[in-house]
Chains A and B, each alone.
Chain A
Amino acid sequence: MSLQRSITLSLACVSGGAVAAMPDSVQRNFVACPIVRDTASVPCWLAEYEGELYFLTLQTDVSAPVNPPMLGHKVLVEGRRTDKPRICGGIVLEPVRLSVLPALDANCNQLLPAEAQYNLTFEPPRPPGPSKGRLAFNTLDVQQAEVAPQRVEKHFSIGYDFEGRVGFKHPALLQPVLDYALAIKATSINIEGHRGAALLSDGTILNESPKLAQQRAQQVAELLQGAGLIGPRYTVRWIDAAPAPNGSDDSAQRRVDITIKP
């Protein structure tokens, strides 16, 4: 994705955002303290919004598509309300994105005991103890590409949590970038950082920090260089303006785009 195109996109969003200021009725975007509900097996993660309890996710392991948030912090929930049977008393949000907000908040400290009525009605993906056969960290178990790939220009996109920088999810995203660039002996690499905003269900807009687009882009460049990708010429840019959020796919703006050229 070129620099120009993302700028055009973001302008379009700004003008669109002025009109449609609310997410659709199925979307639930809110900031709340997460709540842990123990069960006879793994704990459930929940959060309350406008008097209603929502189910966020279960404790599983690192490789899970959705990871539980943290007590001691508020969480930004961006999810879609479903009609699925409630889990642990909460309305199931799916898909759901959870971003732990960086500030510490000692008020977020609710750990509820197991109650028979809130037991899981299904086998959780993994028990609280060691897994049976299936290994955690599968995403890190990187397979090296065996055949030399074609030397073509290739785009990668690295996503982030709200206010997030590189963390435990990123090795699985950065490794293919590194492998491809090394495999085709890339001569140049373009990195473009973005930041976003989140439109909450009550109309509030949360903006990511002003410098985050730059910090994300620079960090990705440092990491790739630190991992030994020092051959190619790096072009590192960022787009400081956060496009106006629409409340449905705001997380897509929180990203770094990478283009690897032969």
Chain B
Amino acid sequence: MLLCAVAVQVVAAEDDVLAPPHALYPAPKFTLRWINPGETGGLAADGSYDNNQGQLGVLNAAGAVTATGHPFFAPLGTNGRACVSCHQPQDAMSLSLDSIRRQWQVTQGQDPIFAAVDGANCPHLPQQDPASHSLLLDRGLFRVFLPWPPRDAAGKAIEPEFGIEVVRDPTGCNLHAQYGLHSAQPMVSVYRRPRPAANLKYPTHQNFGVSSFIGKNGLPTARDPQTGKPTSMNLMADARPPSLRAQAADAAATHLQRIAPLSKAQLDAIVAFEGQVYVAQQIDRHAGSLIEANGPTAFGPRALLKGEAGVLGNNTSRWVFPMEGKWTTLPRGASAAQDARNAGRESIARGHDVFMFRTFWIRDSMHLNSVGLGNPTKRTCATCHGMHMTGMDTANGWMDIGSTNLPWAREAPLNPWTTQKPELPLFKLTCRNDIAPHPFLGRVIYTQDPGRALISGRCNDIGTIVMQQLRGLSARAPYFSNGSAHSLRDVVDFYDRRYNIGYSEQEKQDLANFLGAL
């Protein structure tokens, strides 16, 4: 299965990977275009990139971008990587598993994305062996290593509410003498997907829900060290960076292995670039153009440029994804092609309604069922994914849907008849007796990634993950922070199992089509 998919991709994309530099990418024929660190050339103001589901639009609102010498595109560290290595325009400013596998093939594993520091399961493993990069090659995951115990903003150790044990260490990193939990500088390694470095006015807004105290639990909100203002705490899987500047500085030190801090000019250029780049799907392979003049205003990168950031969606003025009731019933009979297109559009409109209005019982999900809605609560996808235009939570969007916590997280079945092995580490976290138990999971919690709890040290945060923006999804499979859903259909199936939703086959297809059009 896997090998077959790789082979097909390579044939389709090889000439693009080796295409001559100096051109504005993408090439007009809308094919994939990998950008190497330090390449000359640039990004068009309006870029378009084909993907399996249609085509992604990448809009540079400030105009064409010269990549030459630009700190987002330049290898500023010691390992040859640039920010663009893992935030590729063709992949909605994230990095798809397809691209990762293709780069492995094309460069024989020499692309800097495979650098030992976090592009391998652990730095000590033999780097030529693809098995040492299995989490990146199978699930698109980079190693994120965080200090244990956690530190507060001033660098002081936080006394965690739980103890942590390594139950399973398939990568060898969490128990390693140099990199592990019991090393001289104790670290916890978790494995996560890159997030889209685009549409960033949404995850960093200063609008609704941002206040001095975290709306979910009343604790103090992290503040931007530059402005001193409370932040929306919506960046990365665990909201650890208080701002894009802090994020970029940290990314340079970790991902790029840069020794000296980035200069102010470099940080300015990175943050300015990130602040003006917008991504969203703009053509759907069934529904055709998503951005026609009279169509719904939810789609395409320009909609994100225009949209107001930090607004909680409702269903009168600011829908989460505004469809204006369009595409619900479209004519048939003009031509077979138009019938097919209209059927595709109707499916997207139905999928939107499933997302907004199809209720199910949301149960045992920390920071949703614990914030006054009751457990369970009869609500919809849009209850959690409520922010206008991106479907994030407006602020502090970390929740536990069971993507990394057992019993819901994807685990390899263990039995005498399979050779499947667990790929991800498993931790056992035991909450202290002098605090209240986790309301849904009790005192002992098994997890593949403690998520926000690795930053806050809080029992109730175990396995909570900040929701990603639901944009450019078709360009950046797999999904969830731990890459456990290989397709959008797989995401829908996860929810169907997790919350016992009982979607019909039609609802599942429509919902996946809708997500794919975002």
Q: Which residues of A contact B (CB under 8 A)?
A: 36, 38, 42-43, 45, 59, 61-64, 67-73, 100, 102-104, 111, 128-137, 140-142, 163, 165-171, 174-175, 178, 223, 226-228
Asked if B373 and A61 make an inter-chain contact with CB atoms under 8 angstroms apart, the answer reads: yes
Determine, out of B142-150, B191-199, B209-217, B235-243, the stretch whose residues face the partner at the interface. B209-217
Give chain A residues whose Cβ lies under 8 Å from the Cβ of B378.
Answer: 38, 42-43, 59, 128
Main SS at interface, chain B: loop
Q: In the complex, what residues of B have CB within 8 A of residue A61's CB?
A: 372-373
In the bound complex, what is the Cα–Cα distance between A169 and B370 (angstroms)?
A: 11
The closest CB in chain B to the CB of A45 belongs to: B374
B211 contacts A226, CB within 8 Å? no
Interface contacts beyond A100-B439, A171-B211, A175-B212: sample of 12 additional A-B pairs, CB < 8 Å, sorted by A: A42-B378, A61-B372, A63-B372, A68-B375, A70-B439, A73-B439, A130-B380, A171-B215, A175-B211, A178-B212, A223-B218, A227-B221
User: Inside 8 A of A169's CB, which chain B residues have their CB?
Assistant: 218, 372
Cβ-defined contact, B316 with A36, below 8 A: no
Q: Is the CB of B218 within 8 A of A128?
A: no
Per the 8 Å Cβ criterion, residues 403-459 of B in contact with A are 436-437, 439-440, 442
A185–B244 alpha-carbon span in the complex (Å): 31
Point out the residues of chain A lying under 8 angstroms from B356, CB to CB: 129-130
Given A67-B374, A168-B217, A137-B312 contact (CB < 8 Å): yes
Most buried by A among B374, B375, B440: B374
**B359 interface residue (CB < 8 Å to A):** yes
Contact of B382 among A38, A64, A129, A137 (CB under 8 A): A129
Partner pick for A228 among B212, B218, B316, B380, CB 8 A cutoff: B212
Point out residues on B near A: beta carbons under 8 Å. Answer: 208-209, 211-221, 223, 228, 312-317, 319-320, 356-357, 359, 361, 363-364, 369-380, 382-383, 386, 394, 436-437, 439-440, 442
**Of all chain A residues, which has the CB nearest B434?**
A211
| Minimum CB distance partner of B460 in chain A | A167
B464 to chain A, nearest CB (A): 14
Q: Is the CB of A72 within 8 A of B364?
A: yes
What's the Cα separation between A62 and B209 when bound, in Å? 12
Smallest Cβ distance from B367 to chain A, in angstroms?
Answer: 9
Q: Which residues of A contact B372 (CB under 8 A)?
A: 61-64, 67-68, 168-169
State A163–B378 Cα separation when bound (angstroms): 27
Q: Is the CB of A59 within 8 A of B373?
A: yes
Q: How far is the CA of A78 from the CA of B327 in the complex (A)?
A: 50
Q: If the complex has contacts A38-B378, A223-B219, are A171 and B213 also in contact, measured as CB distance less than 8 A?
A: yes
Closest to A73 in B: B439
Chain B residue with Cβ nearest A163: B436
When chains A and B are docked, how far (Å) is the Cα of A72 from the Cα of B369?
12
Complex formed: what's the CA distance from A167 to B380 in Å? 23
Q: Which chain B residue lies CB-closest to A36?
A: B376
Tell me, in angstroms, the Cα distance from A134 to B314 when the chains sit together.
Answer: 8
Closest chain B CB from A255 CB (angstroms): 15
With a cutoff of 8 Å between Cβ atoms, the chain B residues found around residue A62 in the complex are: 215, 371-373
Q: How far is the CA of A103 from the CA of B249 in the complex (A)?
A: 43
CA distance A163 to B439 in the complex (A): 13
Residues of B within 8 A of A135 (CB): 208, 312, 314
A–B Cβ pairs within 8 angstroms, 22 of them: A36-B376, A43-B374, A59-B378, A68-B373, A68-B377, A69-B375, A102-B436, A129-B356, A129-B380, A137-B215, A137-B394, A141-B209, A167-B370, A168-B217, A168-B372, A169-B218, A170-B218, A171-B211, A171-B215, A175-B213, A226-B219, A228-B228
Q: Which residues of A lie under 8 Å from residue B369 when comparing CB positions?
A: 70
A84 to chain B, nearest CB (A): 21
Which one of A43, A61, A137, A175 has the greatest number of beta carbons of chain B within 10 Å?
A: A137
**A157 CB to nearest chain B CB (Å):** 16
What are the 9 tightest A-B residue pairs by CB atom distance, in nearest-first order? A68-B374, A226-B220, A67-B372, A170-B218, A70-B375, A171-B213, A166-B218, A102-B436, A168-B371
- Given the known A-B contacts A140-B215, A163-B436, are A59 and B374 also in contact in the complex, defined by CB atoms under 8 Å? yes
- Which chain B positions have C-beta within 8 A of A137? 208-209, 215, 312, 394
What A residues does B359 contact at CB under 8 A? 128-129
Contact of B315 among A69, A71, A73, A131 (CB under 8 A): A131
B374 touches A132 (CB 8 A): no
CA distance A133 to B318 in the complex (A): 9
B216 surroundings in chain A (CB, below 8 A):
168
- A130 pairs with B314, CB closer than 8 A: yes
**B314 contacts across to A, CB distance below 8 A:** 130-135
Question: Closest A-chain residue to B223, C-beta based?
Answer: A228
A135 to B383, CA, bound (A): 12
A133 to B377, CA, bound (A): 20
State in angstroms the CA–CA spacing of A112 and B381 once bound together.
22
> Which residues of A are found within 8 Å of B436, using beta-carbon distances?
102, 163, 165
Residues of chain A lying within 8 A (CB to CB) of residue B220: 223, 226-228
How near does chain B come to A57, taking the closest CB pair, in angstroms? 8
Which residue of chain A has the shortest Cβ distance to B215 in the bound complex?
A: A140
For B363, list chain A residues within 8 Å (CB): 71
Docked CA distance A145–B228 (Å): 19
Is the Cβ of B315 less than 8 Å from the Cβ of A130? yes
Beta-carbon contact of B212 and A104 below 8 Å: no
Asked if A67 and B214 make an inter-chain contact with CB atoms under 8 angstroms apart, the answer reads no
